[in-house]
Amino acid sequence: MAQGGPGDPAATSSDHVSLARHPLDPLGAGEISQAVAIVRRERPVTPDARFVSVGLHEPAKTQIAFADSADASRAGGADDASQAAGAGEPAAAAAAVPREAFIVLMEPQQHMLYEAVVSLTAGSVVSWRPVPGARGPVTPDEYAECERVTRADARVQAGLERRGITLPQQVLVEPWGIGTFTAAQEAGRRVVWTLLFYREKPEDNPYAKPVHGLHAIVDLDDMTVLRVEDLGVVPLPPGSGAYAADRVGPLRDGLKPLEILQPEGPSFEVSGWEVRWQRWRLRLGFTAREGLVLHTVGYEDGGKVRPVIWRASVAELFIPYADPRPFQGWRNAFDVGEYGIGIMANSLELGCDCLGDIRYLDVELADSGGEPYKIPQAICLHEEDFGLLWKHFDAERQTAQTRRRRRLVVSFIVTAGNYDYAFYWYFHQDGTIEFEVKLTGIVLTSALEPGETSEFGTVVAPRTLAAHHQHFLSVRLDMAVDGLRNTVYEVDSGAVPSGPGNPLGNAFRPVKRPLRRESQAQRVIDPLRGRYWLVANPGSRNGLGQEVGYKLVPGSNVLAFSHPDAPITQRAAFATRHLWVTPFQPDERFPAGDYPNQHPGGAGLPAWTEADRAIEDTDIVLWYTLGSHHIARPEDWPVMPTERIGFALKPAGFFDHNPALDVAPGPSPHC
Ligand SMILES: [Cu+2]
């Protein structure tokens, strides 16, 4: 990666001249080191400081060419000069954008979190801000340290011995966010609580042997076990939960080879972090907290790149559990805010996660000492045949026109303790963008007494209970449909009242209602009315004279069941609605607030939207809550077959006709 001296991060190697950084490119390893060195030099950072993240401080929209060209492109007479600096082109102006890092670090002795903005261009700290009361997320090093101190604690070891476990090094310790469930004496501390699982043999599935009723409360700043709670022994379940190929007995056969061959390579081009495929242009990014980020997603139409999305990411991932018993009722996780899903990303070289002619992108992050490290092959790009794109058979002439659908897949996969999430953005030739999550991994277990059952979980193996739970993702969609000024409409279809306007009783029609203020834009799905949300650009018309738009089409979805006054509802208020719309503010990034760890709630969307700001014909952000309802099945054990949830963004008047008319037949010889 480019490594420059202070003040000139990308200019030391001639190799990088042709690949000059785009202002939205993630920081490289050299830039991470440089940013950390600058903040250490200019601010009183102690040797004990723990870095939560060192990433790109994204430039303002006005500094990126996409916005300039976007608003000119269709609404107000594009001029060629601004269009030349369209999506994806690091224009001359882009080189002048100062390169900045955003750093979050914790000083454990001060129990204080700091945010810093560092200019790599100027070689100095631009801003330095303590955030009193903020409890930073659990860093990977703290996760490992917490496991070590918990295993070494005499009270924990005594509890393990009461359960017949004499090898604490084979106990898996999971630090979980404690939310508001701290005791009075823990006020002001940065605390987690633990779930313990036992590996009888080192290669065993630990979730098959939940250590029931034994929990440590650990101060992460001091890295000490504050207290150990023992609710009483429930024997370890007998099963092994084995799922590896060499442990599950005879494997089925009968599958003949299925090869995806692309002898001329994939049809997409990757240049740095920019991707071009068919008419799509987009840039990729990656953060420790959100993982994969999409930037400046546009569609080439009539020689111009028309913006669709400014930025998209998974901004929170929240998992509430149903079991009300002591400690079990504490189980919930904010995987983005309490840990960070970027740092959980798999290296996809270690499996067979994508198929076909694949291009991977490595990502670089900072460890808690501020040292850069690489996750090789964290992002996967590939193409898939996805069945039929469109077809018509002219029966009279006995001829058919048929087109195959190909899609570009951009994905990454994370492992959050027991669970694995695979995230996919799909780009289609007809202008559709889809987002899908495949949920897999191992369900969270607790042990049962012989004969015991529970209405709050499913017995998935002898004396093994998998608790009912849900998964809620908040997908932040900073939209830019043909430019930054957009209006969101809720569109419901309904019957027309009986009477002269509907004499036969068949009439129905969509009713389109603009969401003008934030208070009107906190909505839930309504599948029986075919509800969707249309993001339109009032300043841009298609060839039919209609406002151009993209519609958000929900897939299956659910809402949480926690009571309105429950602590968890307060902390995850974003999950009480499927759609929120806010006016764009660069610092409004996370729906449960910047630091959800131990936060009592109310931050993020509920706080911002109290101002009830106007959201009409302006730069808006959609927050879509995507829920998966998980009543575990025995078939989910010992590793669950993927479950899928998602939504689509479809052009609705964005084009004048089917934009995939120009897709050529073939080229498959079988077609
Ligand atoms: Cu689940």
d(CA 404, CA 198): 50
> Would residue 624 show up in a list of annotated catalytic residues for this protein?
no
Indicate whether 79 pLDDT > 50: no
Among 602, 577, 292, 247, CA closest to 424? 292
The C-alpha R_g of the chain, in whole angstroms, comes to 26
Ligand 1 center from residue 467 Cα (angstroms): 9
Give tens-digit pLDDT for 300-354. Answer: 999 899 999 999 999 999 999 999 999 999 999 999 999 999 999 999 987 789 8
Token output for 121: 């261009």
Ligand 1 center from residue 650 Cα (angstroms): 28
Eight-state DSSP code of residue 250: S
Q: Give me the residues near ligand 1 (ion), CB cutoff below 5 Å.
A: 630
d(CA 490, CA 577): 14
Compute the average pLDDT of residues 73-88. 36
Ligand 1 center from residue 154 Cα (angstroms): 34
Question: What pLDDT is stored for residue 376 in this prediction?
Answer: 97
The one-letter code for the residue type at 355 is L
d(CA 663, CA 671): 14
Token output for 352: 């067979």
In the predicted model, what is the mean pLDDT of the chain?
A: 92
Contacts by 435-438, CB closer than 8 A, 24 or more apart? 435/312, 435/475, 435/626, 435/646, 435/647, 435/648, 435/649, 436/644, 436/645, 436/646, 437/471, 437/473, 437/626, 437/628, 437/644, 437/645, 437/646, 438/642, 438/643, 438/644
Among candidate residues 71, 335, 478, 594, the one labeled active-site is 335
Among 516, 69, 474, CA closest to 301? 69
Give tens-digit pLDDT for 326-340. Answer: 999 999 999 999 999
Bridge-based pairing of strands 433-441 and 419-428 is antiparallel
Q: Contact 26/45 with Cβ under 8 angstroms? A: no
Question: What pLDDT is stored for residue 666 in this prediction?
Answer: 77
- Angle, alpha carbons 518-476-358 (nearest 5°): 160
Compute the average pLDDT of residues 278-290. 97
Put residue 550 in one of left, alpha, beta given phi > 0 → left and psi -120 to 50 → alpha: beta
CA distances from 143 to 337, 340, 346, 368, 599 (A): 15, 12, 17, 11, 19
Ligand 1 center from residue 470 Cα (angstroms): 6
- pTM exceeds 0.85: yes
Ligand 1 center from residue 569 Cα (angstroms): 19
Compute the average pLDDT of residues 387-410. 96
Token output for 155: 């009270």
Q: Which of the four pLDDT bands, split at 50, 70 and 90, describes residue 493?
A: very high
The one-letter code for the residue type at 531 is R
Ligand 1 center from residue 632 Cα (angstroms): 7
Token output for 420: 């694995």
Q: Residue holding tokens 């029986």?
A: 528
Ligand 1 center from residue 580 Cα (angstroms): 24
Give tens-digit pLDDT for 549-605. Answer: 999 999 999 999 999 999 999 999 999 999 999 999 999 999 999 999 999 999 999
Question: What pLDDT is stored for residue 352 in this prediction?
Answer: 84
Ligand 1 center from residue 150 Cα (angstroms): 27
Give tens-digit pLDDT for 435-457. Answer: 999 999 999 999 999 999 999 99
Among candidate residues 419, 424, 532, 550, the one labeled active-site is 419
- Angle, alpha carbons 141-145-151 (nearest 5°): 150
Give tens-digit pLDDT for 224-279. Answer: 999 999 999 999 999 999 999 999 989 999 999 998 999 999 999 999 999 999 99
> Would residue 335 show up in a list of annotated catalytic residues for this protein?
yes
